[in-house]
Amino acid sequence: MISEYARWAQGGDRVHCPFCRHPDSRVVDSRTADDGAAIRRRRSCPNCGRRFTTQETVILMVAKRSGVTEPFTRDKIVRGVQRACQGRPVSEDKLAILAQQVEETIRARGLGEVPSHEVGLAILGPLRDLDEVAYLRFASVYRGFESLADFEDEITALRQGRRDAVTDSAVATDPASPGQH
């Protein structure tokens, strides 16, 4: 087996020109993209002289319970949440934003590989904020609800969270509340 360094030294990581397939190119300009999550490089082919752009991103891997790892994709998040949102007033745009929030949360941990369980946990918060019914559907499958009591406990927690949010906003807007001047 060839080491990573040996593969690189032999040109295994070279970028081929998309026009003439020449096995090398020269970087003309590099810039960060996607809020620093990627690097966009402008390249020039020494053979045909044409220019092209490449984008490099770190591949985030998800470790499944079976031990298999696969690349993280926003599409998989959207597809999983779409089932929970079926029949709910949730647009495709909102699902795309949710998937982006999940990816940002996971990437912020700074790990190259995350367990699938953590991906599920990262979905729960934004989904709860988006649609409580869809959240209950997703949570019931994700957390493996087995009884009506599991649903009742989760609904109670949702109601308590809503009450706390209403109380917090009332305190913040009440000029007579202590600590407000």
Tens of pLDDT, residue by residue, the chain (181 residues):
344 444 444 444 678 999 999 999 999 999 988 766 788 999 999 999 999 999 888 788 999 999 999 999 999 999 999 999 999 999 999 999 999 999 999 988 888 899 999 999 999 999 999 999 999 999 998 888 999 999 999 999 998 887 665 555 554 555 554 444 4
Task: Record the pTM.
Answer: 0.63
The residues near 52 (Cβ < 8 Å, ≥ 6 apart) are 17, 18, 19, 25, 42, 43, 45
**CB neighbourhood size of 66 (10 A):** 7
**CB neighbourhood size of 1 (10 A):** 4
Quick check: 54 and 41 in contact, CB under 8 A? yes
